Amino acid sequence: MNFLRFFAPVITAIVLFTSLQAHALEAESFTKERFDALQAEGAPILVDIYATWCPTCAKQREVLETYQNENPDSELVILEVDFDDQKEWVKHFKAPRQSTLLLFDGSEQVWFSVAETREDKIFAAIGKLLGQ
């Protein structure tokens, strides 16, 4: 009984803190099949060429998480290309380095960026794609 009385406020604080945390980025691992299917549907797609060790990529990820948190009903699909493990797709997208972002309106590439971390620029490109 004393145990519960002592730890109840701590447990409550942990639960509240956890519920206030931002949600993790909702993204899918890139596959040709998924990319082709999304393009055929005319879906808005963001291809994120990232590396787990890249600080610029981490900042971009924070910006994209913020976008998703502020726009939970967005139709934007994020596909992640691993810079170290998916070299054929890095070359396919002509990414000069990790931290490359590409936006597609179906099969049409409408935006290309390298190392862009400014929230306003990334949000503006996504907004333009989605007609916002």
- Decide if 122 contacts 116 (C-beta within 8 A): yes
| Tally of structural domains, the chain | 1
Q: What is the chain's mean pLDDT, rounded?
A: 88
Q: Kindly report the pTM of this predicted structure.
A: 0.81
% of the chain beyond a pLDDT of 70: 83
Tell me whether residue 1 is in a domain.
no
Residue 24's pLDDT band, with cuts at 50, 70 and 90, is confident
Residue 92's pLDDT band, with cuts at 50, 70 and 90, is very high
Q: Which domain holds residue 69?
A: 24-130
For 26-48, what is each residue's pLDDT tens digit?
A: 999 999 999 999 999 999 999 99
Tell me whether residue 14 is in a domain.
no
CATH of the domain at 78: 3.40.30.10
Is 33 in a helix, a strand, or coil?
A: helix
